[in-house]
Amino acid sequence: MTIQKILVVDDSPTERYFLTDILVKNGFSVSTAENGEEALTKIKADKPQLILMDVVMPGQNGFQITRAIARDSETQDIPVIICTSKNQETDRIWGLRQGARDYLVKPIDPQELLAKIAALG
């Protein structure tokens, strides 16, 4: 499956713009969500092929939303890449245990992000 539709979930407008800009310039269709609750609504409605998930957000955090995605039979096949400033190894391990396919630490390197997406596709 070639990944085309990506949902970016981040409470920072700057991060959403940065990631969207990289992705659109590389031919992806991008939608965004400001928090986990909005993300879950958009996932059900839009069925993205990949989710880029921040961790630290108001309401449910990215780990909780990733776990909800991984446990729902309708969404469990959608890969999640966590994109966060949380750079501890324990955070990375915890994120992967919640169901994330990969883990990137901010500031996101555009080439590394595109390589991770290509590997999933």
pLDDT in tens, 56-114: 999 999 999 999 999 999 999 999 999 999 999 999 999 999 999 999 999 999 999 99
CATH code for position 90: 3.40.50.2300
pLDDT at site 1: 63
Mean pLDDT of 25-29: 97
3-state helix, strand, coil in the chain (%, to 5): 45, 20, 35
Backbone angles phi, psi at 37, to 5 degrees: -65, -45
Q: What is the chain's alpha carbon radius of gyration, rounded to the nearest angstrom?
A: 13
Q: Count of domains in the chain?
A: 1
Distance CA(52)–CA(104), nearest Å, equals 9
The parent domain of residue 31 ranges over: 5-119
